[in-house]
Structure 1
Amino acid sequence: MNTRKLVFFAGLILLLSSFSSPTYKIAKLKYSGGGDWYGNRTALPNLVRFCNQNIFTNFSADEATVEVGSAEIFDYPFVYLTGHGNVVFSDAEAANLRKYLAGGGFLHIDDNYGLDKFIRKEMKKVFPELSFVELPANHPLYQQHFKFPNGLPKIHEHDGKRAQGFALVWKGRVVCFYTYECDLGNGWEDYGTYPGDTQEKRTEALKMGANLIQYALTQ
């Protein structure tokens, strides 16, 4: 084999090895106010595993934790916020989160029940000029690798209300997706975490999560 072919194959091996190594992480957002930002402990690792296997992402298996006001937030293409209780962003944190989202970042807010009245107020600090709008069932987010013709699925029951997917749209781009009365993250957790939840619902939740990841990274 001549030198030119050796150089070609060496380069090819390096290229393939770079694809096989994890390149980025999903982060869970840590916030102030006393709410349980750390909820759904097994959700993101399971979602990462499902995405890597089914839509061929290249996430590291371990989730990260990042604070709202931290410069490290810019290291993550997708940030996840969950909880049941109070959420408080300082002015500096709200400004940092706005800069992250306006600059290409993506935030998924997942109401774990009880978050709604707090998060709507805090996101107004981030984008005072924007309001959450419900995405229709034919929105591209629901038509990615997995098809959801009826829109956001209902994963975990609380009040008997229908699941709704809301978005903040900044200059034509969805920068924040808010899952309400759905509890998507509960469906990502280890099977058996919530008695009564079925494997079918868990798979449905993971498929919706994969769609969200795919949409966030490619829109």
Structure 2
Amino acid sequence: MKKTMFLVFSLLFFAQNTAIAQQIAILKYGGGGDWYSNPTALPNLIQFCNTNIDTKIDSEPETVEAGNVSIFKYPFLHMTGHGNVFFTDEEVQNLRTYLLSGGFLHIDDNYGMEPYLRRELEKLFPDRQLEELGADHPIFSQRFNFPDGLPKIHEHDGKRPQAFGIFEKGRLVLLYTYEADLGDGWEDPTVHNDPEEIRTKALQMGSNIIEYVFKG
């Protein structure tokens, strides 16, 4: 009964709030990983989106905790970091309900999340596997075209960039970008001293993700 009431409340809460505006929040998680990394990334991406793809996103994203019902106020959650990730059982239930109710989670590996994240995703979706998105997926051909798929923004281990997804009835509910480090490219130019061409690619790819979720 408790789980059923939680589900009903969450669905109603989500339906009531997603109609208000296009909004983004940063997902805070446990385990000791630096969920707060890349502090200038999302504000810069939001500014780029509001200018180039006609969104009206609040310039300063809120921070929400994985287990809090407040995540249902936001149709788009962003998660990043370098290290350990851990979700409690209550957080798993909350996140799963959010995603299956129409929410979207973008996870951008800032380097080092991968083994911990995959363990937690198995808890979140034990009945699904991450599927690699091909270059023909529409997320790569929104306002900006990426015919080769996910762009490489920051070099770490010499691996190719990959975009993975989890789907629910054909809908992409979770996107995991790996070995691309989009968030570093969204940061202020002085943080990583990336060439303007690289930063532009990162911002364009980020705006494609947002456009795909909000306007697709």
Alignment TM-score, normalising by the size of structure 1: 0.88
Regions of 4+ moved over 2 Å: 22-25
3-state SS in 2 of match to 1:88: coil
Distance 1:83 1:28 in 2: 11
Report the equivalent of 1:202. 199
Distance 1:70 1:24 in 2: 20
Of 166, 169, 177, the match for 1:168: 166
Report the equivalent of 1:4. none
The answer to whether structure 1 residue 111 and structure 2 residue 109 are counterparts is: yes
Deviations 1:141-194 (A, max 9, x none): 001010000000000000111100000111110000000000001100001211
The answer to whether structure 1 residue 214 and structure 2 residue 211 are counterparts is: yes
3-state SS in 1 of match to 2:189: coil
CA positional deviation for 1:23: 3.5
Identity %: 57
Report the equivalent of 2:42. 44
Q: Greater CA radius of gyration, 1 or 2?
A: 1
Report the equivalent of 2:81. 83
Whether the aligned pair in 2 keeps the contact of 1:25 and 1:62 (CA below 8 Å) is: no
3-state SS in 2 of match to 1:193: helix
Distance 1:173 1:218 in 2: 13
Structure 2: segments with no counterpart, 5+ residues:
1-19
Distance 1:192 1:201 in 2: 13
Aligned partner letter, 1:143? S
Report the equivalent of 2:176. 178
Distance 1:46 1:59 in 2: 11
Deviations 1:8-30 (A, max 9, x none): xxxxxxxxxxxxxx944310000
- Number of residues of Structure 1 aligned to a counterpart in Structure 2: 197
Aligned partner letter, 2:73? D
Distance 1:23 1:166 in 2: 27
Structure 1: segments with no counterpart, 5+ residues:
1-21
Distance 2:195 2:129 in 1: 34
Whether the aligned pair in 2 keeps the contact of 1:55 and 1:145 (CA below 8 Å) is: yes
Alignment TM-score, normalising by the size of structure 2: 0.89
Whether the aligned pair in 2 keeps the contact of 1:23 and 1:60 (CA below 8 Å) is: no
Cα root mean square deviation, aligned: 1.0
3-state SS in 1 of match to 2:27: strand
Distance 2:168 2:112 in 1: 26
Aligned partner letter, 1:87? V
CA positional deviation for 1:124: 1.2
CA positional deviation for 1:218: 2.9
Aligned partner letter, 1:214? E
